[in-house]
Amino acid sequence: MKKRIVGIFLFNEVEVLDVAGPFEVFSLARGDIDSFRVCTISETGGTIIARNGLRLQADYSFENHPDIDILIVPGGYGAEQIEIYNLAVINWIKEQSQKVEYITSVCTGAFLLAKADLLDGLRATTHWMDIDRLEEEFPKIQLVRNVKFVDEGKIVTSGGISAGINMSFHLIGKLCGEHVVKETAKRMEYD
């Protein structure tokens, strides 16, 4: 069984836990073999500056990243106020959606999936502070409130910040079984 490659999209002003939560969960998950290889991808590669000044180094750029199986699109100010207007990012997300097994969002990363027309007609969620805006700007989405994540098959959206951890455990359960979820949560001391 091959390792699935999890690509986490990085951009300036990304919410740190939106990246770090799923990174940690997928990095620690162990099925019969090491089930996942996690990498980070930004538009041009190099260093990005996350919320509150944390510097992160992307492993790859849009031009040189490996084929990925699971794409995680995090949120934060950079998603909802900057990257939502970046056509190169929106087009890359659309392109990846045709190739990946799963495409996911954490928090306001849902705005980027919505802008790429991936959520029309589907149920989705985002951070509680931004759900009304998402509903207003993208009326074809069926917004679900007060949940950690919404699974629509290939597309999984999650609520605010720490909900990306819950969503990541959910995907690991689908792909590797609940025993792997329990073992990973125990290693992380996550309830």
Q: Which tens digits make up the pLDDT trace of 128-175?
A: 999 999 999 999 999 999 999 999 999 999 998 899 999 999 999 999
Residue 47 confidence class, pLDDT cut points 50, 70, 90? very high
List residues bridging with 91 in a β-sheet: none
pLDDT of residue 92: 98
Q: For residues 44 and 190, what is the distance between their CA atoms, to the nearest angstrom?
A: 34
Q: For residues 122 and 81, what is the distance between their CA atoms, to the nearest angstrom?
A: 23
Domains of the chain (ranges; CATH) run: 4-188 (3.40.50.880)
Q: For residues 141 and 161, what is the distance between their CA atoms, to the nearest angstrom?
A: 20
User: Is the distance from CB of 26 to CB of 172 less than 8 angstroms?
Assistant: yes
pLDDT at 32 over 70: no
